[in-house]
Every structure is written in C-alpha cells, then in structure tokens.
Amino acid sequence: MIKYKLICNECKNIFDSWFASSKEYEKLKKKRLLACHICNSQKVEKTIMAPQLISIKKKTKDHINKTKIDNVKKIMKDYQKFIKNNLEFVGENFAYEARSIHYNKNKQTKGVYGKASKQDLKELKEEGIDIQMIPWIDDKDN
Ligand SMILES: [Zn+2]
C-alpha cells in the first residue's frame, strides 16, 4: 500500500488516499476514476512532497547542532580568556607551581594554569591541592 496526498485543482481540497501501488494510482488516474471527495472533480493530482521537506528538516537540524557547538566553543573561549587574564601561565611547570602555591601560603599569585600529566593530577589531588581540569581549545583550531 502506498499513501498519496492528492490535491483537487477545482476546490484546492487536499486529501490522503491509499493505493495498492504507484501503478494503480496511474491506472485509476488514466481511467478517470480519481475524484475529489468534496466537489467530485476529476482534476485530482498528487502533490509533490516528502523528500524536500525531509532534507530541509535535516539541514535545520544540522544548523542547530552547529550553532550549539559554536555556543559551547564561545563559552569555552570566554572561559579561556578569563583564565589568561587572571591566572599565570606556567606551562609544563604546573605541578611544581601548584604545589608551591599550596604549601607557601604567602606566595603572591592568584593562581596558575598549565599542563600536567595524569600522574601529576593524581598526585596533586592526593595531596589535597585544589585543581580544576578544563577542556582547552587551541586557537589554531579555528
Ligand atoms: Zn474538489
């Protein structure tokens, strides 16, 4: 069975109709056995539909996903900007600097950011040092 949306060219009525196959539809149309449910006109045709609508919807969905990703990227960029402006970049020395802040309370710094290995992170956490892991976007990704 196949369902077609049919439109009447006389009264512009649109209605669904079931056929055994697309061939049956063609046969009934040739024999003028298709008629509008409302005005009984035989000027009834299939409406063009489905595939175009689906592709529009998919595009819209992709667009939404892309917008979402862009939003997240923007939030992360803003976050990175905040960190860059407020914290000191120490690169590979992160573990050392984090310890030095933790154990030397008088050290004049707001905080540091940099890189650390998984092992470093584990050890720092075990020592009770307050660290945050954040995903980082390299500028060159754009
Ligand atoms: Zn009609």
For residues 67 and 117, membership in a common domain is answered with: yes
Pairing of strands 88-91, 112-114: parallel
56 domain-assigned: no
**pLDDT over 80 (residue 125):** yes
Distance from residue 15's CA to the centre of ligand 1 (Å): 10
Question: Distance between CA atoms of 36 and 75, rounded to whole angstroms?
Answer: 56
For residues 72 and 107, membership in a common domain is answered with: yes
For residues 69 and 28, membership in a common domain is answered with: no
**pLDDT over 60 (residue 122):** yes
106 domain-assigned: yes
CB 42 within 8 A of CB 35: yes
Query: What is the residue range of 94's domain?
Result: 61-141
- Lookup result for tokens 């009525």: 13
Distance from residue 11's CA to the centre of ligand 1 (Å): 4
Distance from residue 7's CA to the centre of ligand 1 (Å): 8
How many folded domains does the chain comprise?
2
CATH number for the domain including 26?
2.20.28
Q: What is the mean pLDDT of residues 11-28?
A: 90
55 domain-assigned: no
For residues 92 and 113, membership in a common domain is answered with: yes
Q: Name residue 131's amino acid.
A: I
**pLDDT over 50 (residue 120):** yes
Distance from residue 16's CA to the centre of ligand 1 (Å): 13
* pLDDT tens digit sequence for 41-79: 999 998 865 434 444 566 677 777 888 878 888 888 888
Question: According to the model, what pLDDT value does residue 44 have?
Answer: 93
pLDDT tier at 80 (50, 70, 90 boundaries)? confident
Distance from residue 10's CA to the centre of ligand 1 (Å): 5
54 domain-assigned: no
CB 45 within 8 A of CB 9: yes
Q: What is the mean pLDDT of residues 33-40?
A: 92
Distance from residue 55's CA to the centre of ligand 1 (Å): 30
